[in-house]
Structure 1
């Protein structure tokens, strides 16, 4: 009987074009657009067209240092600070007019770099300019030390070198790990949202729930059939979002494609991914079933579910700056958060069976508890039939 209810609800949802558009097509198009945009941002040369404003009476030697770099565009202005504020330049330099003479007299003239603190491009330009100035400063220091017959090792007894403990990464893997969990999980939640609102709140609003309850079918079977229908749309949407993500990275990107290389543990990766995706769809579907039972209309259900979507995306921001090695085992006991964390581990090639077991266990327990709550509500006419 559950199978018949499941099939009937599935066919009814598939007949609605809005369900297909909002559950499948729009999430896929948005995901492809995000990936394409991220790849273009990474492929763009950040040092291109860096403009710096200086006064006309600035020291010529510093101006020549900047002009010799092809990535720097020097703009002469009466008021360099105003040029930055008006967006005509990304940074401004204040250079003393007697800069060269003070250096020859063994003094330390000051060069000030002004930036727009609200602009990332302005900050990157300032860093690039400082690197140019530091190189020339080191060259002058080495020249002076040579004149004094002093080696550079005398004032630099040791060097500090920073290296990553993981494999070399140009930032593409970090970008993949940042976008992939959000795209996949939001694909799952976006798939269950339209059908969940319509299957319960929609039927109450259309007054068709009464006729359904009068049929010789147990309420448990009705609830399970509807719940599995909603979960199916979540799983399908999640899988299609994943497929669109992989294909767009493979064939539409140049930088991100290098990071999407699954070497070894392929079976473990697929198993962990499918299990976590399925459990997330079941859990999210039951949460939306409860909210849809609380609502008396589709519009009211949408107002409830919009708040849940904001809560569901919160773990994404909590994990954004964390490394996979900083994840604690206790974090995999928190529903939704553990799915984000597990997918991040999988993308970095970390296969921890304890994390997988904690994720499966916590999602299963939470789903059982929510199903009990949903079943209790479904047995009460005040929640099933709505107002009046």
Structure 2
């Protein structure tokens, strides 16, 4: 491979790709804006539904005996007690979130030291109604504790009997793991793998099958540059477009986390060391190189733009399957064998690095296999690029 010749081809391909508005839109603009739009809508929807219930808890109480529990409910802030002729119908229609039925003998049963019945009518198919049910349940639990305390006090017993065991929590991690970091360790490997698989596709199709379909590949082969220079020039151009797409996606995710911090559990605990970020970037680039070369080889084999897209779809599915396979996996329980499985090892390493774990054995195994995969995929692309029946397959 002649570096100068490869550089010339690389510059030419990058220039052509950036001239194509479709490539710019799919590789840069869409990944950059998709997450802020998606998470913005999700965050706004979640915040809206949560505030709607917590700030105006619309319920209806049918108190058949003027109970003390009804008076207790009225002291709770943000509860809007409404009239209802038919509790079940009004709950189903969404006029109220839930209905509470307090029997006439409620206070008498409690005064006798027994368990009183309380009916709660809600719609489990409604998010607002389910949230309201959880809030009312917490109010009932709080009221029940007060009743138990008064019963113990009336018998001259210490209320500490309610807590026979006191738990003292001691976190063994170097730093407290926030919900935001847990969310990031689940989402980031998934997103990086999906985009490492999918973002090079547009460039690969254009520089392979697209060239054949436009009839511009044959003139390139008649130039003085070798086929290996053409191959590596196209390969590096596709890899660069893949990396740009990944960076754009991560930038969009970063914007989303700033605009909707509540969706990610707040802003605390999201610090990742520079060394860990560097390693995450490196393994992602290696994975992008693997898929870039495979996609270029398949694109060269395809007869047309449309055929190439059909052939490349399974690669995206393979990447997604491996990513989703580790989505809920606790990385601390992953065995050594898992780090020998393609793509899965990349996901696990990213999870470890986000959580501040740098296991030299795991890193070594993953990087060695990643380099092997890159070499094998480039060899496959080289094999396809040297076959006349493949290049001139139309």
> Do these two structures clear the TM 0.5 threshold for a shared fold by scoring above it?
yes
Q: Is 1:63 aligned with 2:63?
A: no
Q: Secondary structure at the match of 1:321?
A: coil
Structure 2's unaligned 5+ residue stretches are none
Between stretches 354-363 and 196-205, larger displacement belongs to 354-363
Residue 78 (str. 1) matches residue 82 (str. 2): no
| 1:18 counterpart residue number | 22
Match of 2:35 among 27, 31, 37: 31
User: Of 1, 6, 11, which aligns to 1:2?
Assistant: 6
Aligned 8 A contact 1:93 1:111 in 2: yes
Q: Distance in 2 between matches of 1:343 and 1:174?
A: 12
Distance between the aligned counterparts of 2:66 and 2:314, measured in 1? Answer: 58
CA RMSD of aligned residues (A): 3.1
CA distance in 1, matches of 2:63, 2:164: 41
Q: Give structure 1 stretches of 5+ with no counterpart.
A: none
8 Å Cα contact 1:23-1:233 kept in structure 2: yes
| Correspondences of 1:306-385 after superposition (within 5 Å) | 306-385=313-392
Cα deviation per residue 1:322-359 (whole Å; 9 max; x = unaligned)? 33423333323223223332222222222222222222
Using the TM superposition, give the Cα deviation of residue 146 of structure 1 relative to its aligned residue in structure 2, in angstroms.
1.2
Q: CA deviation at 1:232?
A: 0.9
Per-residue displacement from partner, 1:61-86 (whole Å, max 9, x unpaired)?
33333332224333432332333332
Say if 2:250 is the partner of 1:242. yes
C-alpha distance in structure 1 between counterparts of 2:65 and 2:371, whole Å: 69
Aligned pairs (5 A) from 1:190-339: 190-246=198-254, 249-250=257-258, 253=261, 256-262=266-272, 265-266=273-274, 268-339=275-346
Higher relative contact order (CA 8 A, sep 6+): 2
Q: When the two structures are aligned, how many residues end up with a matched partner?
A: 384
| SS of aligned partner of 2:80 | strand
SS of residue paired to 1:110:
coil
| Counterparts of 2:344 and 2:183, CA distance in 1 | 19
Q: Do the aligned residues in 1 keep the contact of 2:63 with 2:103 (CA within 8 Å)?
A: no
Q: Secondary structure at the match of 1:241?
A: helix
Tell me the distance in 2 between the aligned counterparts of 1:90 and 1:162.
36
Map Cα deviations across residues 86-133 of structure 1 (whole Å, 9 max, x no partner): 233333434323322222233312224344334444433322221111
The answer to which of 23-32 and 182-191 deviates more is 182-191
Single out whichever of 182-191 and 82-91 deviates more from structure 2: 182-191
Please say if residues 193 and 323 of structure 2, whose CA atoms lie closer than 8 Å, have aligned partners that are also in contact.
no
Q: What are the superposed Cα offsets for residues 218-272 of structure 1, whole Å, 9 maximum, x if unpaired?
A: 333322221111001112222333344445545774764333323xx52x22430
Q: Normalization by structure 1: what TM-score?
A: 0.85
